[in-house]
Amino acid sequence: MTDNKYQAIETKLVHAGEPRIDGAVRLPIFQSAMYEIDPDDARGSRYIRYFNTPNQVALADKLAALEGGEAAVVTGSGMAAISATLLTLLRAGDHLLSLDSLYGGSHELITGLLPSLDISHTMFDGNQPETWPQLLRPNTKAVYVETITNPLLRVPDHEAVIAFCRQHGLIAVIDNTFASPINFRPPEFGYDLSLHSMTKYLNGHSDVVAGAVIGQAEPVEKIRRTLLSLGGALDPHAAFLVNRGVNTLALRVRQHNESSLKVAKFLEGHPKIARVSHPGLKSHPDHARATQLLDGLSGMIAFEIDGGADAAEEFFSRLKIPLIAPSLGGPETVVTRPTTTSHAGLAPEEREALGITDGLIRCSIGLEDADELIADFDQALSA
């Protein structure tokens, strides 16, 4: 449950949810699968797959406090959080309105697994609210979006999403991974459920796979119950590591925000760059909305080099600092082509319709010196 003792997010990152057991400043790792049953203990039976052991609960309580949610549950991956949430909210015969540009794994869940369970969906353009009412069906239950889309970094009209959901009695669900609680806090904004791949910014050290669901107590408890059947629990050691990473989230994310904008501005001015997408650039179609709604614009950049996929591969081979790897939000800068990684599961026509070209490069700017990164990008482009 939410720890309301602290006001500022920086203070919550350090102190919220911390039980400070036996005077220990850091919560030790409780590497125990099960706990003795105490008939007087309201917590009932405790077991790692019940999501109610000390490291899991401390981390969940911190997350709820960070985003202003009533409760949270931490999971073994971001996809565990996303799949358990959608499988809790939607039943056979239900319909989901889903943003047209999503992380590839979420797209596959919604277009592959859910239809096999008779759960249908319609994709919508997050920037055209006037088109949404005609997509509604009598069986529409929920709307699913991302704060900043993967990989093209569009920022949907979140105010319109909340108004639309309120008007039509729909549950508003958002994947807040790219923004992190430093840049956006969906429960405070009006979203019912906020989902995270904690693998990215929340953990922030590229050494754990983890997820979270944050929101009102009742739906979070229902999702936890679904997870009891699906499994997907977060191990206490991994929960400990994520909790440690979260302490420095504000410092890290603000550095990612600043460095990525600096690199994006450099790329925008480079003659070999065909297009750059970063919501902090004035040329970005959602720049005004993004800067108004979000406290920062993440460490992500999408760009294309003249010459498409071949030019991108050539550029990768010349880079000295960034690693060519999937995922994001860690201390090291990574580059990938979404066609070969995060969006490889989409059909070529689907990618084309979304603007995910073969040459598109997705870059997660890390915590290295931004000027040194720019110099490296410059030499790799000039070669």
Residues carrying an active site annotation: 49, 103, 175, 200
Q: What is the spatial distance between Cα 177 and Cα 380, in angstroms, rounded to a whole number?
A: 30
177 is an interface residue for ligand PLP by CB under 6 A:
yes
Closer CB to ligand PLP, residue 16 or residue 79? 79
CB of 335 to ligand PLP, least distance (A): 14
322 is an interface residue for ligand PLP by CB under 6 A:
no
Region at 191 (left for phi over 0; alpha for psi -120 to 50; beta for the rest): beta
What is the arrangement of strands in the sheet containing 323-324, beginning at the earlier edge strand? 273-277, 300-305, 361-364, 334-336, 323-324
Closer CB to ligand PLP, residue 85 or residue 199? 199
CA-nearest of 129, 112, 349, 226 to 121 is 112
DSSP code, position 110: I
With beta carbons less than 8 A apart as the criterion, state whether 156 and 99 touch: yes
CA-nearest of 62, 59, 61 to 10 is 62
CB of 103 to ligand PLP, least distance (A): 4
77 is an interface residue for ligand PLP by CB under 6 A:
yes
Interface with ligand PLP (CB under 6 A), residue from 54, 68, 69, 78:
78
101 is an interface residue for ligand PLP by CB under 6 A:
no
Q: What is the spatial distance between Cα 188 and Cα 9, in angstroms, rounded to a whole number?
A: 13
Interface with ligand PLP (CB under 6 A), residue from 69, 105, 330, 338:
105
Choices 9-17, 87-95, 115-123, 170-178; region in contact with ligand PLP by CB under 6 A: 170-178
What is the Rg, in whole angstroms, of the alpha carbon atoms belonging to the chain? 21
Please return the burial class of 310, using the count of CB atoms within 10 Å of its CB with bins 0-12, 13-18 and 19+. exposed
Closest residue to ligand PLP: CB criterion:
78
Per-residue interface string for the shown chain with ligand PLP, residues 200-239, x marking contact by CB under 6 A: ---------x-x----------------------------
Number of residues binding to ligand PLP, judged by CB under 6 A: 16
Query: Which residues lie near ligand PLP (CB under 6 A)?
Result: 77-79, 103, 105, 146, 150, 175, 177-178, 197, 199, 209, 211, 327, 342
